[in-house]
């Protein structure tokens, strides 16, 4: 009986931890994507390189598993609402010159991360 209880508790803990871990990824990914979209507007050569930049920034290996995880996170309701919120906040603050300068510095840093991350031949 103790073994079943321990297995049940462990199963619930694992399920809870994976759900809890998905929430921060969705939120941070949404904020990253909103900023990266601004970089894509300024630098067309960055278009389509978001996953490479994200992987490089967080020192992750860009493989099919990570791509699937990112796709799954982008389809979640939490991601969509956070992305909308982040885009609105960026739009409101773009009038300030310091925000524009910081965004340009971030774009340059992301270009460096893209350059460091090897291109994946599979798409």
pLDDT score at 64: 93
Evaluate whether residue 87 is within a structural domain.
yes
Are 46 and 33 spatial neighbours (Cβ–Cβ below 8 Å)? no
Report residue 76 as tokens.
Answer: 């979640």
Report the pLDDT value the prediction gives residue 51, as an integer from 0 to 100: 93
| pLDDT of residue 45 exceeding 50 | yes
In a domain, 96, yes or no: yes
- Number of H helices and E strands in the chain, helices first, is 5, 0
Q: Whole-prediction pTM value?
A: 0.71
Give me the count of residues in the chain: 123
Is residue 121 included in any domain, yes or no? no
Task: For residue 94, tell me if it sits in a domain.
Answer: yes
Structural domain harbouring 16: 2-116
Say if 99 falls within a structural domain: yes
| Any domain includes 123 | no
Question: Which residues, including other chains, have CB under 8 Å from residue 53's CB and lie 6 or more apart?
Answer: 36, 46, 110, 113, 114, 117
What is the count of structural domains for the chain? 1
- Say if residues 100 and 94 touch (Cβ distance below 8 Å): yes
Residue 122 lies in a domain: no
Q: What is the pLDDT of residue 29?
A: 94
Quick check: is 83 in a domain? Answer: yes
Does residue 2 register a pLDDT over 60? no
């Amino acid at each position: 009986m103790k073994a079943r209880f321990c297995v049940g508790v462990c199963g619930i803990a694992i399920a809870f931890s994976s759900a809890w871990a998905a929430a921060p990824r969705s939120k941070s990914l949404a904020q990253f994507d909103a900023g990266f979209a601004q970089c894509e507007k300024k630098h067309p050569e960055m278009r389509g390189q978001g996953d490479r930049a994200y992987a490089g920034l967080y020192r992750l290996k860009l493989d099919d598993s990570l791509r699937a995880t990112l796709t799954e996170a982008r389809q979640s309701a939490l991601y969509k609402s956070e992305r909308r919120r982040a885009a609105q906040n960026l739009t409101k603050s773009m009038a300030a010159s310091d925000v524009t300068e910081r965004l340009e510095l971030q774009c340059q840093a992301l270009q460096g991360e893209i350059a460091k991350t090897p291109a994946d031949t599979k798409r």
